[in-house]
């Protein structure tokens, strides 16, 4: 029988995957697969998850949010494990899974994965780390890092907005230099998002993003008057097109460099990212995925 490495985060979302583990095993058994589970916990993390990987494994099944997916992919890259991955979206934020069309129903998701054809997609790389959905820097980008796990499990995405409101007194203009072949920017901003996916917090910002085009979608919200920002954020919340919008830059690139001396952090899929300076690039065809909805 073919084996599947099943890595699940029991703390993701509202601990939803715990009640669905039997469904995961049932569907895989129907298709002739043996599920080998690995439970992420505070003691081991992912350090022992891949110790038994051999040629008998068909793919890696990940149950968790964007941060869990990001951590698994980074470990696989570090260990040179080239198996396809598939995602069960059970976290607080499941932006990349939704981007590729994964249903939230676990049984349906497993069926979709096991009846799919492997597809090769792009991933982002920021210095020596990889990201599957979005890298960001500027105001609010460390909200997910600072949000208590118990709070996220209790009130879900609302926890991010609660934490974000706490940062409003720190609203300030940030000096940054961005250089790419397609566009340069040397000025003050509030926020920068570099997408491999399309959404962040379920909001569709990078509506031009394509999962296998070899490009990342960059959005820079330039610093300006607060009253101007309100109309901009309304457009973004509505998912409206952002061409020629005042105080916003949107472009595609396969690589860019960012220099910033401000006291801010970077974020990759909800986890702490590298320090500045940053070299960010699109790794075309960097990941094999199962379950992508046609």
Write out the chain's pLDDT in tens, 294 residues: 599 999 999 987 777 899 999 999 999 999 999 999 999 988 878 989 999 999 999 999 999 999 999 999 999 999 999 999 999 999 878 999 999 999 999 999 999 999 999 999 999 999 999 999 999 998 766 544 444 444 444 434 444 444 444 454 456 789 999 999 999 999 999 889 999 999 987 788 898 999 999 999 999 989 876 666 667 666 666 666 666 677 889 999 999 999 999 988 899 998 889 999 999 999 999 999 999 987
290 in a domain, yes or no? Answer: no
CATH number at 263 reads: 2.60.200.40
- pLDDT score for 263: 87
- pLDDT score for 157: 44
- Enclosing domain of residue 67: 2-115
- pLDDT score for 205: 86
Same domain (yes/no): 275, 136: yes
293 in a domain, yes or no? Answer: no
Whether the model clears a pTM of 0.85, i.e. scores above it, the answer is yes
Rounded to whole angstroms, the Cα distance separating 220 from 159 reads: 25
Same domain (yes/no): 85, 160: no
Same domain (yes/no): 37, 167: no
Same domain (yes/no): 79, 140: no
Where is the domain boundary, 115, 146, 163? 115
Same domain (yes/no): 139, 111: no
Same domain (yes/no): 103, 140: no
CATH number at 101 reads: 3.40.50.10330
292 in a domain, yes or no? Answer: no
Same domain (yes/no): 34, 6: yes
Same domain (yes/no): 173, 277: yes
- pLDDT score for 162: 41
Paired tokens of 54: 């051999």
Same domain (yes/no): 162, 273: yes
Same domain (yes/no): 94, 210: no
């Amino acid at each position: 029988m073919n084996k599947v490495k099943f890595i699940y985060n029991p703390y993701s979302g509202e601990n939803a995957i715990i009640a669905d583990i039997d469904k995961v095993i049932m569907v895989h058994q129907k298709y002739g697969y043996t599920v080998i589970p690995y439970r992420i916990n505070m003691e081991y993390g992912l350090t022992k998850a891949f110790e038994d990987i051999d040629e008998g494994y068909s793919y890696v099944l990940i149950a968790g949010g964007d941060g869990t997916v990001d951590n698994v992919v980074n470990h696989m890259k570090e260990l040179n494990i080239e198996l396809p991955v598939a995602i069960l979206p059970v976290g607080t934020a499941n932006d990349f899974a939704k981007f590729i069309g994964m249903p939230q129903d676990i049984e349906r998701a497993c069926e979709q994965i096991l009846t799919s054809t492997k597809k090769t997609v792009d991933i982002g790389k920021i210095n020596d780390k990889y990201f599957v959905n979005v890298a960001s820097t500027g105001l609010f980008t460390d909200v997910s890092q600072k949000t208590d796990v118990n709070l996220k499990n209790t009130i879900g995405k609302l926890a991010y907005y609660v934490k974000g409101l706490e940062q409003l007194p720190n609203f300030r203009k940030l000096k940054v230099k961005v250089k790419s072949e397609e566009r340069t920017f040397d000025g003050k901003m509030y926020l920068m998002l570099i997408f491999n996916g399309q959404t962040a917090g379920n909001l569709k910002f990078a509506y031009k993003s394509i999962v296998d085009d070899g490009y990342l979608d960059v959005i820079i919200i330039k610093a300006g008057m607060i009253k101007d920002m309100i109309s901009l954020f309304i457009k973004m919340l509505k998912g409206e097109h952002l061409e020629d919008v005042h105080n916003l830059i949107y472009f595609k690139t396969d690589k860019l460099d960012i220099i910033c001396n401000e006291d801010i952090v970077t974020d990759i899929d909800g986890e702490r990212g590298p320090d500045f300076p940053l070299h960010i690039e699109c790794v075309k065809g960097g990941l094999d995925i199962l379950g992508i909805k046609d």
